Amino acid sequence: MSRQECDLKTTHLLDVRELKTYFYTIEGTVRAVDGVDLYVDRGETFGLVGESACGKSTVALSIPRLIQTPGRIVGGEISFDGEDILRKSPQEMEKIRGRKISMVFQNPMSSLNPIFTIGEQIGEAIRLHQDIPRSEVNDRVAKILEKVEIPDPRNRMKDYPHEYSGGMRQRAMIAMAISCNPLLLIADEPTTSLDVTIQAQILELMKSLKQELNTSIMLITHDLGLVAELCDRVAVMYAGRIAECSDVKTVFKHAMHPYTRALMKATPTLRTKIEEFYTIRGFVPELINPPQGCRFHPRCEYATDICAKEEPPKAEAGEGHTVSCWHANEVEKSQ
């Protein structure tokens, strides 16, 4: 397989520039991802946060090119491990998926094939990408199941997905995803559909795996708590665009985008008094007809005329910190 060197010269493991993914539906073209830039370095955990329907799952599916009709990647560049992803043939992508980039999805019950055993499904991932004699595959599967802390792995790998509990299924999915030691693991809302206590367990699991395997992780979520615990850097997404991106501490404590600020304010802590729940007024825009100019302006307390007319450019606000807002400086000052 020849390495198609990317036009983009980059040192990042994953470098996404101006990604655009649109969905062509009866009601119009949904611009789910409309010019997204982000990068992930080796060994780091990157979070992508935003409310529902802001396009973050679409970003996750676009990177390994899993977008199906009526959706399509219509623009931008994706460089992974030095190679141009968007120029790869389907066969080449099949070799990358599962091996170099793997994914964990939100709903483990519907994401696992109900008619194959867990062992068969994980075994398939292994046999696809690694030259291991059949007799050893089961051993490998058992080992991985052990690593994700599934009890009695030798027997449980013969079970079907419906015989597992929700938390165990998610562990099995994670096992499947890490089975070939991928360079990048994309986790799309991995804990959203789980109970709070199970969430905590999966969180711990992911932390320990992160330390052990040094895999880069892209974590898609709307749960800021998760981001705080796991991520090194985080980008905030709104209506198909990145609003702000920086390391976790900066984003949480010194956000410069009104939306990020609002998100932080809206997340209650133990100290928040009941009367004080803060909500962002207005509604998330439909991506068929997003607002003109800055997409957040209808709901923003700092909005002025220019916000309604022109899109704010991406600006450097510090070391590795980018913001897209006309009034970022004001926001910073009003700490």
Positions in the binding site for another protein (CB under 8 A): 24-27, 61, 64, 66, 69-70, 90-91, 94-99, 102-103, 105, 107, 110-115, 124-125, 128-129, 160, 162-163, 173, 176, 286, 289
Cβ contact 62:88 at 8 Å? no
Which lies closer to another protein via its Cβ, residue 221 or residue 246?
Answer: 221
Note the residue count of the chain.
Answer: 335
CB of residue 122 vs another protein: minimum separation in angstroms?
9
Closer residue to another protein in complex, CB, 63/205: 63
Based on CB atoms, which residue is closest to another protein, 281 or 283? 283
Name the residue nearer to another protein (CB basis): 113 or 329: 113
Task: Kindly give the pairing relationship between strand 233-238 and strand 71-80.
Answer: unpaired
CB of 75 to another protein, least distance (A): 21
Residue closer to another protein (CB basis): 91 or 211: 91
Work out how close the CB of 44 gets to another protein at its nearest, in angstroms, rounded to a whole number.
21
Instruction: Name the minimum Å distance from CB 45 to another protein.
Output: 19
At 104 the three-state DSSP class reads: strand
- Residue 249 has a CB neighbour count (10 Å cut-off) of 12
**In the bound complex, what is the minimum distance in angstroms from residue 107's beta carbon to another protein?**
6
**CA 129 to chain CA mean position, Å:** 23
Nearest residue (CB) to another protein, 165 versus 289: 289
State the Cα–Cα distance between residues 316 and 121, nearest whole angstrom: 45
Task: Find the shortest distance in angstroms from Cβ 210 to another protein.
Answer: 20
Looking up tokens 């499904």, which residue turns up? 121
115: alpha, beta or left, given left = phi > 0 and alpha = psi -120 to 50? Answer: alpha
Joined together, the tokens standing for residue 151 give 């009890």
Considering the complex, state which of residue 150 and residue 331 has its C-beta at the smaller distance from another protein. Answer: 150
Q: Which residues pair with 247 in a beta bridge?
A: 233
Which residues on adjacent β-strands are paired with residue 235?
48, 245
Burial class (CB in 10 A: 0-12, 13-18, 19+), 313: exposed
Q: How far is CA 181 from the centre of its chain?
A: 18
Q: Give the residues across from 48 on adjacent strands.
A: 220, 235
